[in-house]
Amino acid sequence: MHISTTAWMLAACLGTLINASDVLEVNLVFPRNETYAPNDTFPVVFAFKNSELARHLNPSISYSLWNELDDSAYILWHELRWVNWTDQETYFAYKFSDTFNTEGRWKVLWTLGWDSCNVESPSYGNEVISNTTTRATRFTTSNSAPKLDPVAATANKTCTGQPGVAINVTDKTKSIGSALWEGGKYTNHTCAVVAASPTPSTNPCRTQIDETTLASMKASDWASYCDSNFNEPAECSDKKSSAQPLAVAGLSCLLGLTGALGFFLV
Ligand SMILES: *[C@@H]1O[C@H](CO)[C@@H](O)[C@H](O)[C@H]1NC(C)=O
Ligand SMILES: *[C@@H]1O[C@H](CO)[C@@H](O)[C@H](O)[C@H]1NC(C)=O
Ligand SMILES: *[C@@H]1O[C@H](CO)[C@@H](O)[C@H](O)[C@H]1NC(C)=O
Ligand SMILES: *[C@@H]1O[C@H](CO)[C@@H](O)[C@H](O)[C@H]1NC(C)=O
Ligand SMILES: *[C@@H]1O[C@H](CO)[C@@H](O)[C@H](O)[C@H]1NC(C)=O
Ligand SMILES: *[C@@H]1O[C@H](CO)[C@@H](O)[C@H](O)[C@H]1NC(C)=O
Ligand SMILES: *[C@@H]1O[C@H](CO)[C@@H](O)[C@H](O)[C@H]1NC(C)=O
């Protein structure tokens, strides 16, 4: 690679961090509406693109993994209030699930919640409005599918049946009294003004999970598994030090860059 290319990439990378877009995109990036082999450590991955914009929105994700054959569901959520949104082009929220370890038909039903400044509120009124949007992605597990490979699956920039949520976050913010908003203490008592419709579109297939990101997710999943066991399982001690959750953050700039390049090249 020429130095100039490197410099350009670096500049582009910094550019995405500094000149972030005004749209926060939240997508389920894996699984997609496809067929996969069953797996007992099946990743379910959400991505916050331009995640800095989430800083003042107090976002939350709750979701259920529906078994469409027997109509049962397993409920999960992500605690996002302590996420450091700074300098992360893409923030991944993920869990590894053993739910999809048999053949079946499934639905990931997820709800994004967020709060924004109520621009119309009189000073004594509700200063914050809470909004939620629910999306669903269906997929199938089959023993005849090739071995589960989230990296290969998300390398394809075309997919259908993958609706996301896009929020147009303006740079206007409002400071609100601590008593008025439960989300205040997670947002420095600041709400952001969200632009009225039209709602921008999303592009879930643009976010890829690469090998390094997946490895980092596995490592940090492993670390939290070990941390959550008071009697540390024997297999933990030697692997623990390999956990590097921050690697995901560092990488996301590159991911964003790859995405941007892909966008220009297609
Ligand atoms: C958040 O992350 C940024 C960049 O990595 C760092 O400079 C900052 O200190 C972090 N903030 C907190 C509260 O940890
Ligand atoms: C909630 O968000 C949706 C999607 O962005 C938007 O269409 C709707 O107007 C919002 N509702 C409120 C009360 O802001
Ligand atoms: C489960 O998926 C992972 C990839 O995420 C793969 O490395 C592993 O081999 C799979 N397990 C089985 C039993 O296929
Ligand atoms: C990517 O996905 C689309 C839609 O699902 C499919 O038509 C296409 O063949 C896939 N491309 C590759 C390279 O797998
Ligand atoms: C999901 O994929 C199937 C098979 O490719 C397709 O028929 C269906 O329309 C897709 N679902 C959505 C909501 O796009
Ligand atoms: C918190 O908000 C105050 C003003 O409301 C601002 O001066 C301060 O820099 C903010 N702190 C952070 C960490 O954003
Ligand atoms: C976001 O809202 C601003 C202000 O209303 C508008 O100028 C901008 O075009 C919107 N961006 C998108 C991508 O819709």
Closest atom of ligand 3 to 149 CA is 4
**Measured over all CA atoms, what is the biggest interatomic distance in the chain, rounded to whole angstroms?**
61
Compute the C-alpha angle 107/41/250, nearest 5°. Answer: 95
Residue 4, pLDDT above cutoff 70: no
Model pLDDT for residues 170-197, shown as the tens digit of each residue? 999 999 887 778 898 899 999 999 998 6
Domain assignment of residue 252, yes or no:
no
pLDDT score for 115: 95
pLDDT score for 95: 95
Residues 6+ positions from 121 with CB-CB distance below 8 Å: 127
Q: Is 150 in the pocket of ligand 3 (CB under 6 A)?
A: yes
Higher pLDDT, 137 or 233: 137
Both tokens of 44, joined, read 């379910």
Model pTM above 0.85: no
* 38-47, 124-133, 160-169: least confidently modelled range: 124-133
Residue 60, pLDDT above cutoff 50: yes
Residue 124 carries which DSSP code?
Answer: T
Tell me the best of 178, 190, 191 to mutate to test the pocket of ligand 6, counting ligand atoms within 8 Å of each CB and taking the most. Answer: 190
Number of structural domains found in the chain: 1
- Cβ count near 156 (within 10 Å): 11
Domain assignment of residue 89, yes or no:
yes
Q: Is 204 in the pocket of ligand 3 (CB under 6 A)?
A: no
In which band, very low, low, confident or very high, does the pLDDT at 71 lie, cut at 50, 70 and 90? very high
Domain assignment of residue 12, yes or no:
no
Residue 93, pLDDT above cutoff 90: yes
Domain assignment of residue 248, yes or no:
no
Q: What is the mean pLDDT of residues 85-104?
A: 93
Residue 199, pLDDT above cutoff 60: yes
Query: Up-side HSE of residue 22: CA atoms within 13 Å toward CB?
Result: 12
Distance of CA 30 from the midpoint of ligand 4 (Å): 15
CATH number at residue 171: 2.60.40
Strand intervals (E) in 98-227: 104-117, 128-141, 165-175, 190-194
Residue 262, pLDDT above cutoff 70: no
Higher pLDDT, 137 or 263: 137
Select from 190, 142, 127, 163 the least CA-distant residue to 29: 163
Q: Is 73 in the pocket of ligand 2 (CB under 6 A)?
A: no
pLDDT score for 8: 43
pLDDT score for 122: 67
Distance of CA 98 from the midpoint of ligand 4 (Å): 27
Q: Is the dihedral of CA 62, 26, 23, 187 positive or negative?
A: positive
Q: Is 188 in the pocket of ligand 1 (CB under 6 A)?
A: no
Distance of CA 184 from the midpoint of ligand 1 (Å): 19
- How far is Cα 105 from Cα 65, in angstroms, rounded to an integer? 11
- Cβ count near 63 (within 10 Å): 24
CB 124 within 8 A of CB 19: no
Domain assignment of residue 42, yes or no:
yes
Both tokens of 223, joined, read 């670390």
pLDDT score for 202: 87
Strand intervals (E) in the chain: 23-30, 35-36, 42-49, 60-67, 72-78, 90-97, 104-117, 128-141, 165-175, 190-194
What residue owns the CA closest to ligand 5's atom 13?
Answer: 161
Closest atom of ligand 2 to 116 CA is 14
- How far is Cα 88 from Cα 17, in angstroms, rounded to an integer? 8
Q: Is the dihedral of CA 81, 82, 86, 88 positive or negative?
A: negative
* 138-147, 151-160, 198-207, 255-264: least confidently modelled range: 255-264
Domain assignment of residue 253, yes or no:
no
Both tokens of 6, joined, read 């490197």
Residue 195 carries which DSSP code?
Answer: P
Domain assignment of residue 30, yes or no:
yes
pLDDT score for 225: 80
Domain assignment of residue 44, yes or no:
yes
Q: Is 237 in the pocket of ligand 2 (CB under 6 A)?
A: no
Both tokens of 17, joined, read 């961090």
Phi and psi of 104, rounded to 5°? 180, 180
For residue 94, give its domain range: 25-207
